[in-house]
Amino acid sequence: MNAEGSKPIRIGLLGRGTVGAAFADLLAERGEAVAAATGRQAEVSGVLTRTEGDFDSILAGSDLIVELMGGTEPAREYVRAALQAGKPVVTANKQLLAQHGDELFAVAREAGVQLRFEAAVAAVIPIVRTIQEGFGVTEISKVFGIVNGTTNFILSEMAASGASYDDVLARAQELGYAEADPTDDVNGADAAAKMAILARLAFHTPVTLSEVAYEGIEGIQPDDLAYAKELGLSLKLLGVAERRDGGISVRVFPCFLYPGHPLAPIQGPFNAVMVEAPAITEVTMSGPGAGGLQTASAVLGDVVSILAGDAPVHETRVELPIVKDVGSSFYLHLEVDDRPGVLARVAAVLGDQEISVKSVVQRGTGEEARLVMVIHECLESRFSAAVDALGRLDDLRSAPRSIRVIQEEY
């Protein structure tokens, strides 16, 4: 830190949109509390937008940089330059860290300055500092949760109203819970970026966005939710990072949860994250996963931690392989012809892949006939081979539909 004595800490603010403007207001409003907590006043000394400010002079005139521009370039270049100049950086930019975390954390380590990013995952939920500080030496086995509020809102509304995905998406856009271009939220890419960051933190290993397998919610049909409701299941887009078979698996997928699961009651645009480890059993935290003020609050928390001299620079310590083929349970929905022997032919295909069925119901007759089943845990590669083979049966009126199921009892 270049500032000394009682001079105010000068904050260079890159981006003054939804979060940046809220941060500037919050810093002004909570100025006395910041000074009381850190012994230093803090003020915004320069602002960069597309039409205002010059990065080099903002950097020269600041002690700490807050990056709230979004995107990977020029954010990467600016964050790197700030760290190399010995200035700590706070960012809310998940794409930047999920794609260029290795490079930027290495620069921070070399320069001996902090790069903090609480707001990049689940906004105001303090999951980053909980893992880094509270569980810093705990052998975490799994970190998982609902890390995208847009999709949780859409799935909650579809389950409550029975409306179609397209109708509920349009409503989410009207209410401001979904962007005009919702692609990265609904296809799972946004959640994947957050899971790359959480996996790196939890397992002390480099994980980049390209290593996270993700699926979205675009294909979810109202009748999937209707059947699930009958069975008491709730549908969530989950991000899961876990130790598996000597490596780690990091994935995002829609998933049915049994009642009693701590994530099952999380409704609307809220996020929730669970951490599991033998030494802690499980911890669940939930709260708003977005919003200008809420995100700015997490950013300000990071600024205060830096000014107070808390916490070491995050570091990567071990190499763990990404395990791609893991075991999962599935819900399987087959629209079948209403004729004798169909169930036996379906069972034979599943049997060929050594897949066993936990429960099956036959619904409707004639044009409406369908088989809805829950499959016991099996390797995903076997399930996918079975689904391909089922798709080739003459008995099916449309392609099979499947959704993962978490059957653990809580």
Ligand X SMILES: NC(=O)c1ccc[n+]([C@@H]2O[C@H](COP(=O)([O-])OP(=O)(O)OC[C@H]3O[C@@H](n4cnc5c(N)ncnc54)[C@H](OP(=O)(O)O)[C@@H]3O)[C@@H](O)[C@H]2O)c1
What residues are annotated to the active site? 194
Start-to-end Cα distance in the chain: 47
Site string for ligand X, 96-135 (x = CB under 6 A): -----------------------x---x------------
- Distance CA(157)–CA(111), nearest Å, equals 47
Q: Which span (9-17, 26-34, 250-258, 373-381) binds ligand X, by CB under 6 A?
A: 9-17
Helices of type H across 65-182:
75-84, 94-111, 127-129, 149-161, 165-174
Strands (DSSP E) found in 187-300: 213-214, 234-244, 247-257, 270-277, 281-288
CB of 298 to ligand X, least distance (A): 8
Site for ligand X in 239-258 (CB under 6 A): none
CB of 310 to ligand X, least distance (A): 22
CB of 254 to ligand X, least distance (A): 22
Site string for ligand X, 44-63 (x = CB under 6 A): ----xxxx------------
Q: Tokens 């989410």 belong to which residue? A: 172
Q: Quick one: 194 or 243, whose CB is closer to ligand X?
A: 194
User: Of 92, 143, 212, 355, which one interacts with ligand X (CB under 6 A)?
Assistant: 92
Q: Which span (218-226, 288-296, 337-345, 360-368) binds ligand X, by CB under 6 A?
A: 288-296
Q: Does 79 bind ligand X (CB under 6 A)?
A: no
| Whether the Cβ atoms of residue 396 and residue 365 lie closer than 8 Å to each other | no
Q: Does 15 bind ligand X (CB under 6 A)?
A: yes
User: Of 59, 65, 68, 128, which one interacts with ligand X (CB under 6 A)?
Assistant: 68
- Distance CA(362)–CA(391), nearest Å, equals 18
- Distance CA(87)–CA(383), nearest Å, equals 50
- Residue 12's identity, in one-letter code, is G
Bond before 400 cis per omega within 30 degrees: no
Q: Does 80 bind ligand X (CB under 6 A)?
A: no
CA-based Rg of the chain, rounded to a whole angstrom?
A: 24
User: Of 9, 11, 19, 209, which one interacts with ligand X (CB under 6 A)?
Assistant: 19
Give the closest residue to 116 by CA, choosing from 77, 156, 73, 67: 67
CB of 401 to ligand X, least distance (A): 32
> Which stretches of the chain bind ligand X, using CB under 6 A?
15-20, 48-51, 68-71, 74, 92-94, 119, 123, 290-292, 295
